[in-house]
Chains A and B, each alone.
Chain A
Amino acid sequence: MSYTKLNMTNEEYSEYVKEKEKTSPIVKDCLIAFLVGGLICIIGQLIFDIFEKQYGFSFKNASTYTTISLIFIGALLTALRVYSKIGDKAGAGSIIPITGFSNSIVSSAIEHKTEGVVMGIGANMFKVAGPVLVYGVCSSMIIGFIYWLIKLF
């Protein structure tokens, strides 16, 4: 502990700060996140319906094309500097859908463009999305293993 003239322990000070701290408006944030997240999913469903019903793609193909389209839209809005503005208001609503995943990769790529194509873009592109990928893959492996075990009996 550092020496100071403040007659408070670190714990007392933390308590004091916590009491004073203006917390995020959770109800409002959740509501906006729900609406924006839902809207993105509706857009996804619309794209899916167009692919399936208008162009007659199979269910599997239509969902693949929908994913690709949403990723493209997320990347485009990031490059146009719009996605960060949506994110500032929508929070988790625009981070959780696949467009948010696309945003995290493209934003990192834009940020590190100045250090070159290999060590800049290449090495830093997955800086934010990397952990999601690593633990996403790991957890799906574990769940797959459990599923396999259950299937045995």
Chain B
Amino acid sequence: MKIGEQTLVFEKKPKILNTASIVGPKESEGPLSIFFDHKIEDELFGEESFEKAESKFTQAAIDALLTKAPLDKYMVDCIFAGDLLNQCIATGYAIRDSNIPLFGLYGACSTFVEALILASSFVNAGYYKRCIATASSHFGSAERQFRLPLQQGSQRTPTQQWTVTGAGAALVTHNNDRYKSPVVTHATVGKIVDMGIKDVANMGAAMAPAAFDTILTHLEDTKRKADYYDLIITGDLGKMGSEILIELLQAKGINISTNHNDCGMLIYDLVSQDMHAGGSGCACCATVFSGYVYDLLKSKKIKNVLLVATGALMSPVSLGQGESIPSIAHAVAIETEV
């Protein structure tokens, strides 16, 4: 059911039965290392190219999820998945041999939450019983598509972010399983917000207004206060974007400075790993949620979370033609079951 302007209420409360995460070398050295299921030391993951490696990351995340659940592959009704690459090739090739129906999604770095919202909607409506929501990104393949060759000796600016290598997956099921698990209660689907920022080395600033818009709309639609949530976690705004988001909301009288955090700032140690403004990419939000946030919910350290993933929907072509960066943010509210 839709309430207010953009928010969906899931009356049947679909469950996130389990999650799985797999990350690359840089993320394994980061502060969240212990929360990830698999840590791969080789950024090529034994493959010939970064694109193939990214596919393998997605595949491994799904396999890990099915092992953890535990669930047989044929019991999964559908996969909602996406990545950053043109034509979502990482996803397409990863699902190729799985024999499971697929909705391929593109929402840039917001893809994981987009997948989670769609999976929850299908399960809530009763069309599917068990769905997987997953997203991946890879530093090597993203740099090649959006920036310069990896070995090119150029300097990174202080506001630049680092694409996370890895994949996260969540199993969304209908709510009559016996196991107690966190449930999805609300989702706020974002609109495109473009404040005219053209600097790709400062995605945080481009995406912060989208996160602001979605969070504000979510709170208005649900008539909740910001302190209702134990944690409001954004996908990959990074240091700069997070500061902007907090200030923009402050101007509207909403204080999230105590319960806000950002996946991109959590996944790396910004200073010792020289990560400038933090992590980004589909896998940033996907792995931090699947690893860290889900663990917090499961162990009842927090009772609810608003996960807001932001995406910058530009391409090198649109930027070359002088366009600014259109951004989007999707939010999903997840609670522990009492």
Known: A17-B197, A17-B205, A20-B244. A81 touches B191 (CB 8 A): no
Chain A contacts of B258 at CB under 8 A?
Answer: none
Question: Is A48 an interface residue, CB under 8 A from the partner?
Answer: no
Q: In chain A between 1 and 32, which residues have their CB closer than 8 angstroms to a CB of chain B? A: 1-6, 8, 10-11, 13-14, 16-17, 20-24, 29
Known: A17-B202, A24-B157. A4 touches B152 (CB 8 A): no
Known: A6-B212, A21-B240, A110-B149. A29 touches B195 (CB 8 A): no
Question: What 4 pairs between A and B have smallest CB-CB spacing?
Answer: A87-B153, A10-B196, A107-B151, A111-B149
Question: Is B194 an interface residue, CB under 8 A from the partner?
Answer: yes
Question: Is B248 an interface residue, CB under 8 A from the partner?
Answer: yes
Question: Is B323 an interface residue, CB under 8 A from the partner?
Answer: no
Nearest B residue (CB) for A109:
B149
CB A1 to nearest CB in B, in angstroms, measures: 8
Nearest A residue (CB) for B144:
A111
Q: Residue-by-residue, is A106-150 near B (CB-CB < 8 Å gives 1, otherwise 0)?
A: 111011101000000000000110000000000000000000000
Chain B contacts of A87 at CB under 8 A?
Answer: 152-155
Q: How many B residues are at the interface, by size bracket? A: 35 or more
Question: Is B48 an interface residue, CB under 8 A from the partner?
Answer: yes
A103→B49 CA distance, assembly (Å): 20
Q: In chain B between 180 and 239, which residues have their CB closer than 8 angstroms to a CB of chain A? A: 191-197, 202, 205, 209, 212-213, 216-217
Chain A interface residue count, Cβ-Cβ cutoff 8 angstroms: 45
- Are B152's CB and A13's CB within 8 A? no
Per DSSP, chain B at the interface is loop
Known: A6-B209, A6-B248, A8-B195. A81 touches B151 (CB 8 A): yes
Chain A contacts of B205 at CB under 8 A?
Answer: 17, 20-21
A114→B140 CA distance, assembly (Å): 13
A20→B191 CA distance, assembly (Å): 25
Having A1-B194, A29-B155, A88-B153, one finds 5 other A-B pairs with CB under 8 Å, namely A1-B196, A4-B193, A5-B216, A5-B252, A21-B205
A104→B149 CA distance, assembly (Å): 8
A40→B158 CA distance, assembly (Å): 26
| Candidates B149, B158, B196, B216; contact of A107 at CB < 8 Å | B149
- Are B196's CB and A84's CB within 8 A? no
Q: In chain A between 48 and 96, which residues have their CB closer than 8 angstroms to a CB of chain B? A: 78-79, 81, 83-91, 94-95
| Candidates A2, A8, A17, A83; contact of B151 at CB < 8 Å | A83
Q: Residue-by-residue, is B294-306 near A (CB-CB < 8 Å gives 1, otherwise 0)?
A: 0000000000000
A128→B143 CA distance, assembly (Å): 14
Chain A contacts of B3 at CB under 8 A?
Answer: none
- Are A14's CB and B196's CB within 8 A? yes
A78→B149 CA distance, assembly (Å): 11
Question: Is B34 an interface residue, CB under 8 A from the partner?
Answer: no
Nearest B residue (CB) for A22:
B158
